[in-house]
Structure 1
Amino acid sequence: MKLPFSKGTPQCELTVLNAGFYKASLHMLKKKFPKKKIWGPALFFLIKHPKQGYFLFDTGYSTRFLDVTHAFPYRILRFATPVQISKKDNAVEQLRAMNINPAEVQIILSHMHVDHVGGIHDFPTSRIIVSKKEWDFTRQSSLRLFKNFYIKELFDGIDPEQLQLIDFNGKTSYGPFPNAVDLFQDGSMILVPLPGHAVGQMGLLVNSLKGKRYFLIADSVYVRQNFRENLGGSWISKFAHYNNQEYKSLFPLLQQIEEDNLDIVMLPSHDPEIYHRYVHEKKA
């Protein structure tokens, strides 16, 4: 399952960042892990395209999550999965600390769960790229969405003029993906559908200046060992997925992509190992 790549493709710079931590059992992330509580990461990714500028792939949590989960019924989510985040951890504050103007950054949302869309209202003029299937799904009522781990207040009120909705139907194939979207028609940033965890979840393949390619696979797995060992999380973790069977069906595909493309680094959004290597230790 080779993924196409041309040496003439414009190459991007990628930085792994983190906005907030969730408290959960390692066993929930993968069955063979111990039943030890950890503070796991909510990773997001900064991409610098040589011509198109800056992009964020997701925003992680934000302190707004603490505000909107103060009252019932949303407080249930805070009890079920405790979250730690401070103002300086918000995506917008991290960009400012890097001397990047948030108004010049475009946003790609893998999906619209609370730990990926938390900071979206801090970017009121940015273009927001999201799957049409995911966006249409989130037009439901707040209570219906909450049953699927969405909090509508975190993204309600987004200006429709900001949106670029990605419809994968009938698009160009890319390796094993029959439908994919080349954002700039230059091979640098390729969006592919990765449904299962969320109805319209997307992944992003990014070419890097460091001679590697990165596949941002969001929550298609919690940790890379899921697809490497074809083993999901504990039984309770299945309730976090829109379609658990579809979720697990991606494992063999992701494993084959990693094995057949040695230049590709797979980056899920909640893997503690990824956090320690790329954020805590800052190793490329």
Structure 2
Amino acid sequence: MVSVNDSQNCVQLHALQAGHLTLPERFFVHPSSDNLKTTVPSLSFLIKHTDSKSGNIHRLLFDLGLRHPTTKYPQPVQNHIGTRQPLTAYPDVVQSLEHGGLKPNDIDLVIYSHIHWDHIGDPESFPNSTFVVGPGTSSLFGNKSLRGGHSFFEENLLPEGRTIELPSVDDKRATKITQQSDISAVDIKFNQSWRPYGRLPRTIDLFQDGSVLLVDAPGHLPGHINLLARIQQEKYVYLAGDACHDRRILTGEKQIADWLDDSGHVCCIHVDKTEAQSTIERIRILEAEGVEIIFAHDVSWEQDTKNSHRFFGNA
């Protein structure tokens, strides 16, 4: 995974509790029992980067988990939440930050893996942060073609004047700013193109030192991105968002599920199942090469006692 041009700068990475929800397995894995359900986390991650030249410190959040209280969601999302019980949004990401001594104003960037309801938290809690979303995210607002109760997207979700939408992977421009944005984080280099990095065909090297890479991860939803972080020399963590909802799909024990909705349409939790399978295959190769993989709903990672100290404030 290491590029010869990397300065070997590393970042600190912590997990944040940001709520739990319950997933009916038949919508996510195959084969599965119709009645089997699993309560899983919706993880957020805090990344601290120190620029090796300027000494500037930047703090990033990758996903915000569930919104607290859930009554702040629009009614269509609240209706869908009724199918994901038991569910709790406590502690939320703000409370988890406070557990480790930080406040929302300490966060420079909020990076969304994608904008499904269980990852967006409450952006109003971060009034001074710049928000970053993947290419094609803005196409989801007002989109009526996606099926399922989870496919409702708040048109005023992204903060006006503080949101950057990354460019299409085919776009020669470095970035596309959905609203005019005053980025105070001057060391963060959005002014670059998607480039291959090791096994990953499309990445953006956020600080141009190989420590934090945004990764195009198509298949689940337009705008879905992952993040690769170098936390020690030669040690990487890959935050895989919703590229996979169950680790047994990554291991090959299970397959991605399909189901019929009430109208008889074939549905899948991924908008492009073929692309999703290709993304999962790339992640599978990374894991075989020694990269640690963490999914947003990674209940086995969360419950592993070896990881308890990796939650912010627990060390």
TM interval, shorter chain, is: 0.7 to 0.9
Please tell me whether the aligned partners of residues 18 and 279 of structure 1 are also in contact (alpha carbons under 8 angstroms).
no
Distance, in Å, in 2 between the alignment partners of 1:189 and 1:130 is 15
Alignment of 1:133-172 (within 5 A): 133-134=136-137, 136-140=138-142, 147=148, 149-153=150-154, 156=156, 158-167=158-167, 168-169=169-170, 170=172, 171-172=194-195
Question: For residue 24 of structure 2, what is the aligned residue in structure 1?
Answer: 25
Q: Distance in 1 between matches of 2:268 and 2:152?
A: 16
Cross-structure match for 1:125 = 128
* Partner of residue 53, structure 1: 58
Alignment correspondent of 1:11 = 10
Change in CA separation of 1:236 and 1:4 when aligned onto 2, cut-off 3 Å: farther
Q: Does residue 245 in structure 1 map to residue 274 in structure 2?
A: yes
SS at match of 1:241: coil
Structure 2 unmatched runs, 5+: 52-56, 173-193, 261-266
Aligned-partner SS, 1:89? coil
| Secondary structure class of the residue paired with 1:66 | helix
Checking the alignment, whether the CA contact within 8 Å between 2:22 and 2:85 is kept in structure 1 is yes
Larger radius of gyration: 2
Root-mean-square deviation (CA, aligned residues, Å) is 2.9
The correspondence for 1:254, drawn from 262, 283, 287, is: 283
Q: State the secondary structure of the residue aligned to 1:47.
A: strand
TM-score, normalised to structure 2, is: 0.76
Give, in angstroms, the shift of residue 147 of structure 1: 4.7
In the alignment, what sits opposite 2:96?
94
2: distance between equivalents of 1:253 and 1:45? 22
**Residues 64, 138 of structure 1: CA spacing in aligned structure 2 closer, same or farther, 3 A cutoff?**
farther
Alpha-carbon displacement from aligned partner over 1:253-277 (angstroms, at most 9, x marks no partner): 2211211x22x10111112101112
Aligned equivalents of 1:281, 1:119: Cα separation in 2: 25
- Match of residue 77 from structure 1: 80
The offset of 1:214, in angstroms, is 0.3
What is the aligned counterpart of 1:103 among 102, 105, 120?
A: 105
Q: Quick one: structure 1 residues 114 and 210, their matched pair in 2 at CA, closer, same or farther if it must change by over 3 Å?
A: farther
Letter in 2 for 1:63: H
Aligned match of 2:187? none
Q: Supply the distance in 2 between the matched residues of 1:199 and 1:157 (Cα, whole angstroms).
A: 16
1:196-234, Cα deviation, whole Å (9 max, x unpaired): 111110010001048621011100011332122174343
Distance 2:209 2:47 in 1: 15
Identity of aligned residues (%): 22
| Contact preservation (8 Å) 1:65, 1:118 | no
Provide the rounded CA distance (Å) in 2 between the counterparts of 1:265 and 1:33: 27
Residue by residue, what CA displacement relative to the aligned partner does 1:67-100 show, whole Å, maximum 9, x if unpaired? Answer: 325x4x44431222235224x5121122122211
Counterpart-to-counterpart distance in 2, 1:60 and 1:240: 18
